[in-house]
């Protein structure tokens, strides 16, 4: 049972436009959400995160929005650049107990066209 | 430079031949974890370790072993690899469980 879902395997966007990557989750106990970016032949790198007590977090060109009632988060990249082309994973953390592990989605491949 | 290293980066082996993938971090992190990445399945946790000598199963532990004798090292052991263990493997570490994880560069394994 996939608790964190990224329903779009791929997304293509023109340079300079907005990229919107979506993520849905099913577990209402998740309290912290992260986005990771992965280039080919490299490990995922942390991009941005948001706590469940917030609905928006911004870092430069990257903004993450959280809609708890819909159990949905999205990553906005504005403006998109060719260097943003990568696989993006969303991840969620379930709080509580001794092990607060991260659960990852399946990833979305973003291609930013020059 | 803060980093997680894995070796080897690429490995081709045959069914049943024991192998070890090493993982080392230089950030003094307590929490370490192994993931495998497969198409359409994302990153799935194999094993994790909360600290030295403390390890536990993740979501897909069958066919794997780990050990944590030192804080910096967390090797992944495949005692008898099978073709369904062909995958891309990542080691990760964080200062605490549930914290931001730092990933190694990955090990691509092919089991024939």
- pLDDT at A19 (0 to 100): 98
The number of CA neighbours under 13 Å toward the Cβ of B84 is: 5
Contact residues, A window 53-72, toward B, CB-based 8 Å cutoff: none
Task: Check A101 against B43: CB less than 8 A apart.
Answer: no
Cα separation, A68 vs A15, whole angstroms: 30
For A30-79, write each residue's pLDDT tens digit: 989 999 999 998 999 999 999 999 999 999 999 999 999 999 999 999 99
Residues in B touching A44 (Cβ below 8 Å)? 43, 90, 103
% of chain B residues with pLDDT over 70: 100
* Exposure string over B42-59, b if 16+ CB within 10 A, otherwise e: bbbbbbbbbeeeebeebe
Whether the predicted pLDDT of B57 surpasses 70: yes
For B22-32, write each residue's pLDDT tens digit: 999 999 999 99
Mean pLDDT for chain B overall: 94
- pLDDT at B96 (0 to 100): 81
What chain A residue is nearest to B37 in terms of C-alpha separation?
Answer: A106
Spatial contact of A107 and A39, defined as CB atoms under 8 Å apart? no
Mean pLDDT for chain A overall: 93
Task: Check B50 against A99: CB less than 8 A apart.
Answer: yes
Which phi and psi angles does B77 have, rounded to 5°? -115, 130
- Select from A102, A107, A109 the residue whose CB has the most chain B CBs within 10 Å, as the one to mutate to test that interface: A102
Mean pLDDT of A79-88: 98
The number of CA neighbours under 13 Å toward the Cβ of B70 is: 9
Q: What helix, strand, coil percent values describe chain B, rounded to 5? A: 5, 50, 45
pLDDT band at B15 (very low <50, low <70, confident <90, very high): very high
Mean pLDDT of B66-71: 96
Whether the predicted pLDDT of A16 surpasses 90: yes
DSSP-derived pairing of the beta strands B87-94 and A4-5: unpaired
């Amino acid at each position: 049972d996939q608790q964190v879902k990224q329903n779009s395997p791929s997304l293509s966007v023109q340079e300079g436009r907005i990229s919107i990557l979506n993520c849905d989750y099913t577990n209402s106990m998740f309290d912290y959400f992260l986005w990771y970016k992965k280039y080919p032949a490299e490990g995922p790198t942390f991009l941005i995160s948001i706590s469940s007590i917030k609905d928006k977090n911004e870092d430069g060109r990257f903004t993450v929005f959280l809609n708890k009632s819909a159990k949905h988060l999205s990553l906005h990249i504005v403006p998109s650049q060719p260097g943003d082309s990568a696989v993006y994973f969303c991840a969620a953390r379930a709080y509580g107990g001794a092990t607060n592990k991260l659960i990852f989605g399946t990833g979305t491949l973003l291609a930013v066209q020059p | 430079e803060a980093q997680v290293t894995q070796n080897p980066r690429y490995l081709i082996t045959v069914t049943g031949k024991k192998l070890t993938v090493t993982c080392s971090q230089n950030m003094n992190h307590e929490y370490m974890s192994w993931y495998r990445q497969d198409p359409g399945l994302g990153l799935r946790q194999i094993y994790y370790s909360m600290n030295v000598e403390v390890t536990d199963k993740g979501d897909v532990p069958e066919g794997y072993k780990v050990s944590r004798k030192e804080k910096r090292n967390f090797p992944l052991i495949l005692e008898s690899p099978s073709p369904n263990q062909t995958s891309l493997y990542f080691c990760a570490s964080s200062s605490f469980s549930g914290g931001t994880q730092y990933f190694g560069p990955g090990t691509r394994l092919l089991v024939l």
